[in-house]
């Protein structure tokens, strides 16, 4: 332990704790724009300077570990003056277009500027005219708003191992951009949006598609339906000041209906459907030895994109089952439309997703048009939904509970935990075990695949046979899992795992790139707890027992992996170049 004083206050913290974190222990907030709790300090912004008694230099609190007997001053006249000047400098290199910015009201730079009450153009503004990059349709890079804190680059390179973003040039020309004057769409970007979730300003934002949705909602010809992803229910409250993890499923149903959607579906339903298909695939491969093992989950579009670009030697291992978003979309425009006698051409399917990559998934391959139409028309992130709710004047938190529409609205506890890392694995094993043995798992909740550990491994006994599973989240963690499989493959050995779940974002979808801002592990844990609680509260906890899932097979799809299921619910993969140019 290290003992020192910060602003005269005694503080004791574990060795290696930064001054910044130690100060929080004694209720002292040192401002910073570059340090993010998820990430290593980059020491870029220069706001967190503090003074150690006896030293002439100011030191950075973010990256200096507290040492025994230090006497730190975090605020004195000079420090505050320097901080103010530094902030003025940062603002002088920023468009200061707050009112029309995607981060308006939620921007860390704006908040600091407000704290210091910085006047407009305290220092003459210089902003280089660089057009925004809108190439991906998922994420927009507003280069002008970038303060070069380096968070996005660290996330993209270190946490996600994607290496789409990089620092280019130097000095005043330093910029965050894809390598070598290409657009983001031409880069290895997988659209996970973690960069946008970590950006302190509006430099990286989701592509706001709410206008498309408003237009459809206002179009009397259109039949608008909507689905909400598993994780959205426990995160959307944060945009309205609720703590993370608060489950707002029923309020969301009500609110979406008020927005004007003719039907409100739940992606949890199609998550159950995905499980039924995927578990069937697993049984086919594991029990009947038809197809490659390990089976790898494919419901995360960023992961799919990443695999197609960097790990396409695993194409055969990928589950061909579509993601819940796409399954629901296609069923809405076929099954639901037929049952209600609606014209699918007039249907407009909106999905509310935790994720920026889901926007990309909508047109990923031709199979995303299995209904003969675009199966899902628009995918909105949680943040966009919150914006719509606020615009619409709906007093969201005080709404009476609503209900989802039947046919595509009921869900099991297994479906809801799709939103957390390990959840798909857990849900799939619940059903697969039943398929294999006709019996249920002894212990329903698989602790070995729960939690925020980057790679989780476990063995589940299914009727005396060990099923070895691995769960990875955060794309940088994927490599080690795949490399183990590759090594076994090369040596002609039994694969180390039978089933692998991968989610691109740390924590799974609850930590998705489209979720409300300010994510860190504390928040992730609360959000996760919210979903596990939803599972525990569910009356049905097995996907195959979801009555509406049972009915859709009886009435429409036939058997899992059957011809119709195959036509509508499955997709395929192809190797893609890392760089399009």
Partner 1 sequence: MNALTPADLEAIARTPVVDPPEWVRVQLDTGGIAAGAELVYGALAAARTERQLSFALLRAGSVGYSFADPVIEVQDAGMPRVLYGRMNAAVASHLIDEHLLAHRLLDDHIIATRQRGTSLDTAVTHVLVRDTSGEGSRTESLQSAFNAELKRQDLGDRVQVVRALDVGIYEQGAVVQLLPGAVTYANIQEADIALIVRESIAGGRVLENLRWQTPDRQKRIVLRHCGEVDPDSLDDYLRRAAGYQALRRALFEFTPEQVIAEMKTAALRGRGGAGFPTALKWQLTRAQPAPQRYVICNGDEGDPGAFMDRSVLESDPHVVLEGMLIAAYAMGASRGYFYIRAEYPKAVERIERAIGQARERGLLGDNILGRGFAFDAKVRLGAGAFVCGEETALIASIEGRRGSPTPRPPYPSVRGLWGMPTAINNVETLASVPPILRHGGAWFAGHGTPTSRGTKVFAVTGKVRNAQLVEVPMGTTLRQIITDVCGGVADGRELKAVQTGGPSGGVIPVQHLDTPVSYETLQELGSIMGSGGMLVMDKTDSMVDVAKFYLRFCVDESCGKCAPCRIGGYQLLQILERISRGRGSASDVAQIRRICLAMQRASLCGLGQTAPNPVLSTLRYFNDEYKAFIEGGPAYVRKISRTAAPAAKSADEARRVPAAGETASGLLAAKS
Partner 2 sequence: MKSAASVPEAEQSTRPVELARHDEAALLELLETLVQRHGYVPREFSDEVSRLVAVKLERLRRIQAKLDSTIRRDVQQHVARWRNEEGNLIMILHAIQNQHGYVPREVAMELSRELGVKLARIYEVITFYHYFKLQPPGAHNVTVCNGTACYLKGSTDLLNALRTELGVAEGQTTADRQIHLDTVRCIGCCGMAPAVVIDGKTLGHVKVADVSGHLVALKQSNQEARP
In this structure, the number of other CB atoms found within 10 A of the CB of residue 513 comes to 32
Q: How far apart are CA 213 and CA 206, in angstroms?
A: 15
> Of partner 1, partner 2, none, which one does residue 515 interact with (CB within 5 to 8 Å by kind)?
none
- Beta strands, E only, 289-406: 295-296, 347-353, 378-381
Distances (CA, A) of 356 to 208, 305, 380, 449: 10, 13, 8, 25
295 and 286 in contact (C-beta within 8 Å)? yes
325 and 351 in contact (C-beta within 8 Å)? yes
45 binds partner 1 (CB under 8 A): yes
Name the residue nearer to partner 2 (CB basis): 165 or 327. Answer: 165
Closest distance between partner 2 and the C-beta of residue 472, in Å?
20
Q: How far apart are CA 568 and CA 330, in angstroms?
A: 7
Q: Where are the alpha helices (DSSP H) in 411-508?
A: 413-416, 423-437, 478-490
369 binds partner 2 (CB under 8 A): no
Q: Which of 145, 322, 358, 359 is catalytic?
A: 358
- 15 tagged catalytic: no
Q: How far apart are CA 208 and CA 218, in angstroms?
A: 18
- 299 tagged catalytic: yes
Q: Which of 281, 308, 426, 545 is catalytic?
A: 281
> Of partner 2, partner 1, none, which one does residue 581 interact with (CB within 5 to 8 Å by kind)?
partner 2
Q: Which of 146, 299, 355, 505 is catalytic?
A: 299
Site map (CB under 8 A) of partner 1, residues 139-168, x = contact? --------xx-x----------------x-
> Of partner 2, partner 1, none, which one does residue 179 interact with (CB within 5 to 8 Å by kind)?
partner 2
What would the 3-class secondary structure string for 403-437 be?
A: CCCCCCCCCCHHHHHHHCCCHHHHHHHHHHHHHHH
312 binds partner 2 (CB under 8 A): no
- Beta strands, E only, 427-549: 455-462, 465-473, 499-503
Q: Which of 278, 308, 384, 426 is catalytic?
A: 278
- 371 tagged catalytic: no
332 and 356 in contact (C-beta within 8 Å)? no
3-33 burial, b at 16+ Cβ within 10 Å, e below that, comes to ebbbbeeebebeeebbbbbbbbebebebbbb
Closest distance between partner 1 and the C-beta of residue 35, in Å?
11
Of residues 113-172, which lie at the interface with partner 2 (CB under 8 A)? 157, 163-170
Name the residue nearer to partner 1 (CB basis): 146 or 217. Answer: 146
Site map (CB under 8 A) of partner 2, residues 170-199, x = contact? x-------xxx-------x-----------
Name the residue nearer to partner 1 (CB basis): 44 or 217. Answer: 44
Of residues 78-107, which lie at the interface with partner 1 (CB under 8 A)? 78, 81-83, 85-86, 89-90, 92-93
Site map (CB under 8 A) of partner 2, residues 542-581, x = contact? ------------------------------------xx-x
Closest distance between partner 2 and the C-beta of residue 487, in Å?
17
> Encoding tokens for residue 544?
């195959």
Q: How far apart are CA 102 and CA 100, in angstroms?
A: 7
Known catalytic residues? 278, 281, 299, 319, 358, 361, 366, 509
């Amino acid at each position: 332990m290290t003992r020192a004083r910060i602003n005269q206050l005694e503080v004791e913290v574990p060795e290696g704790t930064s001054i910044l974190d130690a100060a929080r222990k004694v209720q002292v907030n040192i401002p910073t724009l570059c340090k993010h709790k998820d990430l290593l300090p980059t020491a870029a912004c220069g706001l967190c300077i503090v003074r150690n008694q006896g030293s002439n230099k100011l030191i950075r609190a973010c990256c200096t570990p507290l040492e025994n007997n230090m006497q730190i001053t975090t605020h004195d006249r000079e420090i505050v003056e320097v901080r103010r000047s530094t902030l003025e400098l940062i603002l002088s290199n920023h468009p200061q277009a707050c009112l029309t910015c995607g981060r308006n009201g939620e921007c860390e730079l704006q908040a600091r500027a407000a704290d210091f009450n910085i006047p407009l153009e305290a220092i003459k503004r210089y902003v280089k005219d660089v057009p925004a990059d809108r190439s991906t349709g998922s994420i927009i890079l507003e280069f002008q708003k970038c303060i070069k804190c380096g968070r996005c680059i660290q996330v993209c390179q270190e946490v996600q191992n994607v290496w789409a973003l990089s620092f280019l040039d130097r000095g005043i020309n330093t910029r965050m951009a894809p390598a070598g004057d290409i657009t983001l769409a031409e880069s290895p970007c997988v659209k996970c949006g973690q960069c946008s979730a970590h950006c302190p300003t509006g430099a990286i934002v989701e592509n706001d598609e709410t206008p498309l949705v408003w237009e459809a909602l206002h179009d009397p010809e259109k039949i608008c339906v909507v689905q909400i992803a598993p994780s959205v229910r426990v995160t959307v409250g944060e945009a309205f000041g609720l703590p993370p993890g608060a489950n707002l499923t029923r309020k969301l149903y009500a609110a979406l209906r008020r927005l004007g959607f003719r039907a409100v579906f739940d992606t949890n339903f199609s998550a159950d459907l995905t499980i039924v298909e995927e578990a069937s695939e697993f049984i086919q491969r594991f029990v009947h030895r038809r197809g490659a093992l390990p089976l790898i989950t494919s419901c995360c579009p960023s992961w799919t994109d990443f695999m197609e670009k960097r790990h396409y030697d695993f194409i055969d291992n990928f589950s061909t089952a579509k993601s819940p978003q796409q399954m629901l979309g296609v069923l809405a425009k076929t099954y639901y439309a037929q049952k209600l006698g609606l014209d699918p051409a007039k249907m407009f399917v909106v999905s509310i997703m935790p994720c920026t990559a889901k926007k990309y998934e909508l047109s990923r391959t031709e199979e995303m048009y299995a209904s003969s139409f675009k199966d899902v028309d628009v995918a909105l992130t949680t943040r966009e939904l919150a914006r719509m709710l606020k615009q619409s004047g709906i007093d969201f938190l005080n709404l009476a509970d609503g209900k989802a529409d039947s046919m595509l609205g009921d869900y099991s506890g297994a479906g809801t935990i799709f939103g957390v890392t390990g959840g798909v694995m857990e849900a799939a094993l619940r059903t697969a075990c039943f398929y294999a043995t006709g019996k249920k798992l002894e212990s329903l909740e698989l602790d070995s695949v729960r939690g925020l550990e980057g790679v989780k491994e476990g063995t589940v006994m299914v009727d005396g046979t060990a099923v070895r599973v691995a769960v990875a989240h955060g794309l940088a963690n994927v490599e080690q899992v795949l490399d183990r499989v590759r090594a076994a493959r090369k040596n002609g050995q039994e694969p180390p795992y039978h089933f692998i779940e991968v989610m691109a974002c740390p924590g799974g979808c609850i930590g998705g790139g489209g979720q409300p801002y300010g994510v860190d592990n504390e928040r992730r844990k609360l959000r996760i707890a919210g979903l596990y609680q939803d599972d525990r509260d569910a009356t049905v906890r097995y996907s195959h027992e979801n009555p509406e899932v049972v009915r859709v097979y009886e009435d429409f799809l036939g058997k899992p992996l059957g011809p119709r299921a195959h036509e509508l619910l499955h997709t395929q993969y192809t190797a893609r170049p890392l760089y399009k140019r």
